[in-house]
Amino acid sequence: MRAGPSQEEIRRHNLGALLRHVHLGGPTSRAELTSRMGLNRSTIMALTADLTAAGLVREELPRVTGRAGRPSLVVRPESAKVYVFAFDAGVDRLRAARVGLGGVILDRREADRERGPFSLDGDVATLVSFARQMQRKTRDDTVCVGAAAAFPGGIGNPGGVVRFAPNMGASDVPLGEELARRLGLGLPVTVGNDANLAALAEQSRGVGVGSRDLIYLHGDVGIGGGVIVGGQLLGGHQGYGGEVGHMVVNPGGRPCGCGSRGCLEAEVGERALLEQAGRFGGGKIGREAVRAIVDAADRGDVMVQESLGHVGDWLGFGVANLVNIFNPEIVVFGGMLREIYLGAAARVRSRITLTALAAARENLRLRTSALGDDVLLVGAAELAFSHVLADPLEALARVGS
Amino acid sequence: MRAGPSQEEIRRHNLGALLRHVHLGGPTSRAELTSRMGLNRSTIMALTADLTAAGLVREELPRVTGRAGRPSLVVRPESAKVYVFAFDAGVDRLRAARVGLGGVILDRREADRERGPFSLDGDVATLVSFARQMQRKTRDDTVCVGAAAAFPGGIGNPGGVVRFAPNMGASDVPLGEELARRLGLGLPVTVGNDANLAALAEQSRGVGVGSRDLIYLHGDVGIGGGVIVGGQLLGGHQGYGGEVGHMVVNPGGRPCGCGSRGCLEAEVGERALLEQAGRFGGGKIGREAVRAIVDAADRGDVMVQESLGHVGDWLGFGVANLVNIFNPEIVVFGGMLREIYLGAAARVRSRITLTALAAARENLRLRTSALGDDVLLVGAAELAFSHVLADPLEALARVGS
C-alpha cells in the first residue's frame, strides 16, 4: 500500500532491469532491449551509457547484421571483468568458481571432502584457498562484486548462519561471516540453502526458464527442496521454507537424521537406496554408489531393480503430494535424484498418476536438472550477483570500483 | 523486467492503495493516510477528491479531535452505498450476503442444502433468489460493484468453472457464468476455492492480519487449504494450488473421494471422525455431528476421546508436513476443523513437535478462525471487491455508475 516510486527509483529499477536482460539473455541489441523493456530508444541509450561508464557492459557492432541501414549496437555484459565467487559446500565435495557477469564460469576448483561435521576451520579454509588461487590469476582490470555459498541446511539470514544441517553435523554455524572474514575482500558473503539456489538457477538458466511455478528436488545424502511460487522463491516466515525432504511420506517408517521417521529423505535418500540394494556399509558411497546401483539395475540385477523401484515409489508419493499442494508447472530432479529419477521414472510417474489430482498434474512436466553438477555453483553465483542486478550503480559504488 | 510505471499508472495505483486503506482499516484521517502512504498532503487531498466524486468514500469531521488546531478530515468508505454480493456454496448449506465497501455485512440469507451433486439449476437458483431478495431491499442510491462465490473445489479461471469438487459431485461446471447469467446485473461473477478465499479473509480481516506466510485449513466434509506465501496466495500453474487435503499422510490408509488413499481429508475429514467414533450412518451429520463428538469427549466418553485423538494425530502429521514445507508464521483452523482442533489440540501439537523441524516451528502460531462461519462470505466479498481496489475509477466506469 506504498505510494508509487520516484523518478530516481524508476531509473535504478530500469538500470537493473537492463543489466538483468544482458546478464541472463546474453548480448542483446539496443533495438531488442527497446522492444523488450517497453522504453524508448533515448532512454535505453542513456541507461546503457550509465552501465558502460560503470564498467558493467560494453557496446559493440554486431558481427552480422542481415539488415540494411545503420545496425543497432549490441550490449554485452563485461563477463571477463566483473565477477563473483561462488561456493558449494556439499557433504562429499567442496567446490568454488569464479563466475563472470552473464553467468560464465571463468575458473573453478574442487576437492573431495571426508564425511563428518562441517568445520568452520578446515572446510572454510579450503573454500577460501580456492578463491585466492583463482583471484591470483585474474588481471588488474577485473573486479569482484560479490560472493555467495550454497549449503545443505536451513540458513538464517542476514548473516548467513547455518541454523540446522543434520547431514553436515552443523547447527548455528556463522558460515557467511567466517567466509567473509577469511576472504578479506571487504564484501559480505551471502549463504543460501543449496536446493533453493538450485531452483533459482534452473529457473533462470536451466530447464525451468520462463516457469513461474517450479519445484526443484536435490538429492545429496539428504533431500533438499527449492520451490518457486508465482515467480518468487518460497522462503517462509524465517527463510526455512522448502524443506520438503522432511515431509513425512511414510509414518513410522525409516528413521531420519532430523529425529523424525519416514521423511522423504529417509525413504529416498542415499542410505535408504544403498541399504535396500544390500550395498550399505560396503565400499562406495555418494554419487558413485548411486550410479553403480542404477547401472546394475540397467544390466538386469533384479534385487537392485526392486530397491530402486521401491525408492521410486516413495519419491512418487512425495512428488504427488507436492503436485497437490503446489500445482507446479515443472518438477526438476537434481543431484543424486537425477540418477534415481532416470532409473525409476516409470515407478515415479505411475505413483503420481495414482495419487495426484488429475487437474493438478495435467500440465505437469518432470525433468532432470539441465545444469547438472554445476547447478549449485550457478545458483550461488546468481545469489552473489543479485544485489548488483537490484541496483547496479549503488552496488558498484560499495565495492569501490 | 518491465520498465517503470507511467504517471497515470502511479495515480491509479495510489487511488487503489488509498481505497484499500479505508476498506480494510476503516475510517482514517487524511493526516494518517499521508503518513502511512508516504505521500504529501496535496496528493492525498486530490486522490480523496477523486474517490469522493466517484462515490466510493466520503469525508467528514472526526467526532473527537483531542488536538488543538484544525482537525484532519476523516475518510470513510461508502459502506451503505457501494456493495457486492458474496456467495458461499457449501456441502450442507447455501449462503449469500450483501457486503458493503469496508467489509460490512449489510444483509444475509442462508438455507440448508441436501447432500448430493451440486445443481446448476436448483442450487444456483437458490443463491440467485437470495441476491434478488436482498437487492429489492436496497435504496436507489446504492450500487452493486461485483459478485463472487466460494466453492469447495478446484476452480479454473477466468470464467469460474468448477474443474473438480469430489465432495460436491461437480466437475467442469461453469458456475461463474451461470451465476452471472441468472443474476443479470451485467457483472461477471468470480469463483474462488473456498479455503483460498478463507485464507485471504483471515489475512485481511481475521486472525492473520499482517502475516505474510499463513496456512488456512478448512474442514467441511472434506479438507481444503489456502496458503499465503510471502504475502501472495499460492495459486500454482493453473490455479489449483493449495489442495493440501489431498496430501497423502497415511499411504494405503482410508479411501478418499479423490480416488487415492490416506489423504489428509480421508484421515481427518468428517467421515473418518464419525466412523471411528462409531457414529457414522446414524442421525447427525456435518457440523452438528462433529460438535456432538467434541462435546462427548469433553464429558469423558473414552471411545470418542480416542477417535478424536486419532484424528488429531493425523491432523498433526499434515500440519507438521506443511510447517516443514512452508515455514508459515501461522496456521489457522476453520470450518469443522475449528472444533476438531479445539477438541484435540494437545495431540495435534504433540505430533507437530515430534515431526516438524525445530527451526521451522519455533515461531509457529496455531489459531482457530477469527471470522468463524462468516469466513467464506468475507473471503468471497474480498474477491468481489478486488477489481475495485485494483483500479477504482475504471471498475466504477464499467458498472456504469
Q: Do A17 and B1 touch (CB under 8 A)?
A: yes
Chain B nearest C-alpha distance from A354 (Å)? 7
- A42 φ, ψ (degrees, to nearest 5): -70, -35
C-alpha count within 13 angstroms, C-beta hemisphere, residue B246: 32
Q: Whose grid coordinates read 544403498?
A: A274
Peptide bond into A158 cis (omega under 30): yes
- Mean pLDDT is lowest, of A10-24, A85-99, B282-296, for B282-296
Q: Do A249 and B247 touch (CB under 8 A)?
A: no
**What pLDDT, on a 0 to 100 scale, did the predictor assign at position B65?**
58
* pLDDT value at residue B8: 87
Place of cell 514445507: B325
SS3 A327: coil
What integer pLDDT is reported at residue A223 of this predicted model?
A: 96
Q: Is the sign of the CA dihedral A196, A202, A208, A210 positive or negative? A: positive
Q: How far is CA B162 from the centre of its chain?
A: 17
| A129 within some domain | yes
Q: Do B325 and A360 touch (CB under 8 A)?
A: no
Q: Looking at the structure, tell me whether residues A280 and A226 fall in a common domain.
A: yes
Smallest Cα distance from A20 to chain B, Å: 8
Residues pairing with B162 in the sheet: B155, B173
Q: Which of A310, A309, A275 lies closest to A289 in space, CA to CA?
A: A275
Same domain, B69 and B214: no
Over pLDDT 90: what percentage of chain B? 88
Mutate to test the interface with B, among A223, A246, A268 (most CBs of B within 10 A): A246
**CA–CA gap between residue A150 and residue B73 (Å, rounded):** 53
**C-beta of residue B216 within 8 angstroms of C-beta of residue B202:** yes
Pick the residue from chain A with its C-alpha nearest to B10: A4
Identity of the residue in A230, A232, A240 whose CB atom sits nearest the CB atom of B235: A230
- Mutation pick from A326, A361, A363 vs chain B, by most beta carbons of B within 10 Å, is A326
Cβ contact B259:B252 at 8 Å: no
> For chain A, what percent of residues have pLDDT higher than 90?
88
Smallest Cβ–Cβ distance between A355 and the set B39, B248, B324 belongs to: B248
Q: Does residue B151 sit within a domain?
A: yes
Residues A247 and A230 sit within 8 Å (Cβ to Cβ): no
Question: pLDDT of B262-288, one tens digit each?
Answer: 999 999 999 999 999 888 887 788 888
List of residues 6+ apart from A272 with CB closer than 8 A? A254, A266, A311, A314
Q: How confident is residue A183, by pLDDT bands cut at 50, 70 and 90?
A: very high
Give CA–CA dist A139/A137, Å, rounded: 7
Domain that holds residue A162: 82-197+375-391
Count of A-B CB contacts under 8 Å: 197
**B316-368: per-residue pLDDT in tens?**
999 999 999 999 999 999 999 999 999 999 999 999 999 999 999 999 999 99
Residues 6+ apart with CB under 8 A from A81: A55, A100, A101, A141, A142, A143
Please tell me the distance in Å from B187's CA to the nearest CA on chain A.
Answer: 27
Residue B234 has its nearest CB partner, among A229, A321, A354, at A229
Give A8→chain B minimum CA distance, Å: 10
Q: Are A190 and A159 in contact (CB under 8 A)?
A: no
Instruction: Work out the number of other CB atoms within 10 angstroms of the CB of residue B12.
Output: 18
Integer Cα distance of A396 and A388 in angstroms: 7
Same domain, A343 and A329: yes
Residue of B nearest to A330 (CA): B237
Say how far apart CA B310 and CA B323 lie, in whole Å.
20
Q: Is the pLDDT of residue A157 over 90?
A: no
Measuring CA to CA, which residue among A46, A45, A97 is closest to residue A73? A45
Nearest-CB residue to A240 (from B2, B246, B357): B357
- Secondary structure (3-state) at B357: coil
Whether B353 contacts B75, CB under 8 Å: no
Higher pLDDT, B65 or B180: B180
User: At which residue does the C-alpha cell 463428538 appear?
Assistant: B293
User: What is the spatial distance between Cα B27 and Cα A232, in angstroms, rounded to a whole number?
Assistant: 34
CB contact under 8 A, B243 and A357: yes
* Cross-chain CB nearest to B327 (options A17, A241, A320): A241
DSSP string, B189-220: EEEEEHHHHHHHHHHHHSTTTT-SSEEEEEES
Confidence band of B401 (pLDDT split at 50, 70, 90)? very low
DSSP symbol at A288? H
Beta carbons of A5 and B4 less than 8 Å apart: yes
Residue A396, domain member (yes or no)? no
DSSP strands (E only) in A232-371: 232-233, 330-335, 365-368
pLDDT at A399: 79
Contact A243 B360 (CB under 8 A): yes
Residue A118 near residue A170, CB atoms below 8 Å: yes
d(CA A328, CA B156): 15
Q: Is the pLDDT confidence value at B102 over 90?
A: yes
Q: If you measure CA to CA, which chain A residue comes closest to B316?
A: A248
From the candidates A357, A363, A391, which should be mutated to test the interface with B, based on the most B CB atoms within 10 A?
Answer: A357
Domain match, B22 and B111 both: no
The count of domains in chain B is 3
Residue B238 burial (CB count, 10 A): 20
- Are residues B237 and A20, on separate chains, in Cβ contact within 8 Å? no
* Chain A residues closer than 8 Å to B5 by CB: 4-5, 10
What H or E segment, with its residue span, contains residue B369?
none
Measuring CA to CA, which residue among B87, B80, B49, B74 is closest to residue B176? B87
The model's confidence at residue B72, banded by pLDDT at 50, 70 and 90, is: confident
One domain, residues B49 and B97: no
In chain B, % of residues over pLDDT 70: 97
Q: Do A242 and B325 touch (CB under 8 A)?
A: yes
Please write the tens of the pLDDT for every residue from B239-248.
Answer: 999 999 999 9
CB B285 within 8 A of CB B273: no
- Closest by Cβ to A4, choosing from B10, B240, B362: B10
Distance CA A274, CA A281 (A): 8
**A309 in a domain, yes or no?**
yes
Calculate the CA dihedral of residues B226, B232, B235, B241 and round it to 10 degrees.
Answer: -40
The per-residue pLDDT for A129 is: 98
Give how far A70 is from chain B: nearest CA, Å.
Answer: 26
Claim to verify: residue B225 and residue B363 sit in the same structural domain: yes
Q: Render pLDDT for A351-369 as a digit per residue (tens, 0 to 9).
A: 999 999 999 999 999 999 9
CATH of the domain at B289: 3.30.420.40
For B234, name the nearest residue in chain A, comparing CA atoms only. A229
Which CATH number does the domain housing residue A32 bear? 1.10.10.10
Q: Do A234 and B236 touch (CB under 8 A)?
A: no
**Beta strand ranges found along B288-345 (DSSP E):** 330-335
Q: How open is the CA angle A36-A39-A44, to the nearest 5 degrees?
A: 95
CA distance B13 to A1: 9
Chain B contacts of A249, Cβ < 8 Å? 248, 251
From the candidates B24, B41, B321, B329, which should be mutated to test the interface with A, based on the most A CB atoms within 10 A? Answer: B321
Nearest one of B142, B255, B157 to B197, comparing CA atoms: B157
Assess whether A12 and A105 both reside in one domain: no
Residue B233 makes CB contacts below 8 A (sequence gap 6+) with B196, B199, B200, B226, B227, B242
Cα–Cα distance, A282 to A56 (Å, whole number):
51
φ, ψ of residue A62 to 5 degrees: the values are -65, 150
Sign of CA dihedral A20, A24, A27, A30: negative
- For chain A, the average pLDDT equals 93
Query: Which one of B14, B21, B237 makes the best mutation probe of the A interface by having the most chain A beta carbons within 10 Å?
Result: B237
Which residues are within 8 A (CB) of B137 and not within 5 positions of it... i.e. 6 or more apart?
Answer: B107
Contact A243, A231 (CB under 8 A): no
CB contact at 8 A, A311 and A254: no
Under the banding of pLDDT at 50, 70 and 90, the label for residue A4 is: low
| Contact (CB<8Å) A327/B243 | yes
Residues of A in Cβ contact (< 8 Å) with B17: 1-3
Within-domain flag for A398: no
Give the ipTM.
Answer: 0.93
> For residue B70, with 0-12 CB atoms within 10 Å meaning exposed, 13-18 middle and 19 or more buried, which class applies?
exposed
Cell numbers describing residue A106: 571463468
Same domain, B231 and B334: yes
Closest approach of B261 to chain A, Cα-based (Å):
8
Set of chain B residues whose Cβ sits within 8 Å of the Cβ of A237: 211-213, 327-329, 363
Q: End-to-end distance of chain A based on CA atoms, in angstroms?
A: 36
C-alpha cell belonging to residue A187: 564484501
Residue B25 has pLDDT above 60, yes or no: yes
pLDDT in tens, A54-111: 999 999 988 765 666 777 899 999 999 999 999 999 999 999 999 999 999 999 999 9
B59: enclosing H helix or E strand: strand B57-60
Q: Out of B227, B241, B251, whose CB is closest to A250? A: B251
- Between B5, B327, B354, which is nearest A4 by CB? B5
Are residues A151 and A381 in contact, defined by beta-carbon separation less than 8 angstroms?
Answer: no
pLDDT tens, residue by residue, A119-153: 999 999 999 999 999 999 999 999 999 999 999 99
Q: Which residue has the cell 479438507?
A: B223
For residue A18, being part of any structural domain is answered with yes
Exposure b/e, A11-38, CB count within 10 A at least 16 = b: bbbbbbbbbbbbbbeebbbbebbbebbe
pLDDT at B157: 80
**Could you tell me if residue B202 is inside a domain?**
no
| Residue with grid cell 561456493, as numbered in its chain | A87
Could B2 and A20 be called an inter-chain contact, meaning their C-beta atoms sit closer than 8 Å?
A: no
Helix (H, G, I), strand (E, B) or coil at B188: coil
- pLDDT value at position B1? 43
Query: Which three three-digit cell numbers place residue B46?
Result: 486530490
Cβ A288 vs Cβ B197: under 8 Å? no
**Nearest chain A residue (CA) to B5:** A10
Q: Is residue B1 part of a domain?
A: no
Residue A293: DSSP 8-state: H
B345 and B252 both lie in a single domain: yes
Tell me how far apart the alpha carbons of residues B352 and B336 are, in angstroms, rounded to a whole number.
20
- Secondary structure of chain A: what % helix, strand, coil (to 5)? 45, 20, 30
CB B247 within 8 A of CB B263: yes
DSSP A107-170: EEEEEE--SSS--TTHHHHHHHHHHHHHHHTS-TT-EEEEEEEEESSEEETTTTEEEEEGGGTE
**What's the pTM value of the predicted model, to 2 decimals?**
0.94
Q: Are residues B364 and B383 in the same domain?
A: no
Residues A364 and A382 in one domain: no
Residues of B assigned a catalytic role: 194
B213 with B362, same domain: the answer is yes
pLDDT attached to residue B281: 80
| Alpha-carbon torsion (B27, B32, B38, B40), positive or negative | positive
Q: B37 and A355: CB-CB below 8 Å?
A: no
Residues A181 and A394 sit within 8 Å (Cβ to Cβ)? no
